[in-house]
Amino acid sequence: MSNLLGIGEALALVLERARALPAEDVPIGDAAGRVLAADAHAVTDLPPFDSSAMDGYAVRAADTPGLLSVVGHSAAGRPASRRVEQREAVEISTGAVVPEGADAVVPVERTKGEVEVEEVAAGENVRVRGGDVRAGDVVAAAGELLGPTQVGALAAAGVGVVSCARRPRAAVLATGTELRPPGSPLAAGEIYESNSVLLRAQLAEGGAVVEVLQSVSDDEAATRAAVERGLQADVLITSGGVSVGPHDLVRGVLADLGAEEIFWRVAVKPGKPIAFAVRDGTLVFGLPGNPVSSLVGFELYVRPALRALQGERDPGPRYASATLARTTPRNRDRDEFLRARREGDSLDPLEGQGSHMIVRAALANALVHIPRGDGEVGAGARVDYLSI
């Protein structure tokens, strides 16, 4: 067994340092994708009044069936001016106030003329005041990620502004003399710079406000200047240059700039040489340059850190489980994350598991966790995976 840090220990060291950022007020129209910093309560009962579920006539159920006299109208936003007395009806539209005295609505399809109504039971077609939520009740709780349905619910309950941790500001810095931007020609020995593109998309998806810094070659002064700038963010993600080669400068530069290295190297494949450091509250993730290592490192540590910075209750990573389609050897020393295709309950690891094979990885929709150990995990075994 190796004595490297395990992925669980590494994640714990990250999350200890990823405290929720200060809260700010967010208009509800902008709040989808944000995390609540405080419980949000209904301002009103919902519905705020007994309202009609149908177009028809508001009546007293005890008067039905029968011939009733129509004494008024109740339209959405325009309540009737009088109550419903015995053998009376008020013409009513969907969403309108059920007038005092009435206890049911006869849908227009169950009426004739002005107005003969079929039988209805008390309460029929009436949406009861507060039937969805009561004023003062919690609509969404602190730590909850607001999706479209949640912001819709909060707006319906009268909440115009919510309190959310501010979004983390993230800087991305790709390092490597060989890197060229996609769209430009390659000279001998050069490759296209893809990690900042991948990381930017992951960070944005994770709720961060992203700044991609100009890539740097493996030059100490250039790396130092760029890292110094990136350290102004809440989260700095560097790509490449954290291994043991003579051109791997990132860790040394971070140390020179006063960042405290919390860990370096984790017992995981791909992504072993990851570095994690902090300076003045900035979390620094030194991700290895191989694109799939970067992808996996982000999912294992950075995405959960972003969630924690936004105050999310369960920062993850959020594993699900399914059935492994083919027998897979374990790595004795390192937990592995295999790129796999999940269909239904079946996880099929793809051909081409090299950590440089980002195009193969792009065919995957799951990272299958194969815990380190001896032997193999057999076809049909239940395994954990992360969706990608």
The partner in contact with residue 121, picked from ligand AMP, Mg ion, none with C-beta cut-offs of 5 to 8 angstroms by kind, is: none
Asked if 177 is part of the footprint of ligand AMP (rule: CB under 6 A), the reply reads no
Longest dimension (CA), the chain: 95
Burial code (b: 16+ CB inside 10 Å, e: under 16) for 216-238 equals bebeeebbbebbeebbebbbbbb
Q: Which is nearer to ligand AMP, 202 or 239 (CB)?
A: 239
- Comparing every residue's Cβ against ligand AMP, the nearest one is 289
Within residues 300-339, the interface with ligand AMP by CB under 6 A covers none
- Residue 95: what residue type? G
Q: What share of the chain is helix, strand, coil (3-state, %, to 5)?
A: 20, 30, 45
Check if the beta carbon of residue 64 is closer than 8 Å to that of residue 118: yes
Binding mask 211-240 for ligand AMP (x = CB under 6 A): ----------------------------xx
Q: Which is nearer to ligand AMP, 162 or 173 (CB)?
A: 173
Asked if 201 is part of the footprint of ligand AMP (rule: CB under 6 A), the reply reads no
Asked if 193 is part of the footprint of ligand AMP (rule: CB under 6 A), the reply reads yes
Q: Which is nearer to ligand AMP, 74 or 290 (CB)?
A: 290
CA 5, CA 2: separation in Å to the nearest integer?
A: 9
Q: State the nearest-atom distance from the C-beta of 289 to ligand AMP, in Å.
A: 2
The partner in contact with residue 315, picked from ligand AMP, Mg ion, none with C-beta cut-offs of 5 to 8 angstroms by kind, is: none
Q: Would you call the peptide bond into 317 cis, given omega within 30 degrees of 0 as the criterion?
A: yes
Nearest one of 296, 335, 339 to 317, comparing CA atoms: 296
Here the tokens at position 265 are 């190297």
Out of 79, 176, 230, 304, name the contact with ligand AMP by CB under 6 A: 176
What's the full length of the chain, in residues?
Answer: 388
Q: State the nearest-atom distance from the C-beta of 211 to ligand AMP, in Å.
A: 16
Q: Which residues bind ligand AMP (CB under 6 A)?
A: 174, 176, 178-179, 191, 193-196, 239-241, 243, 288-291
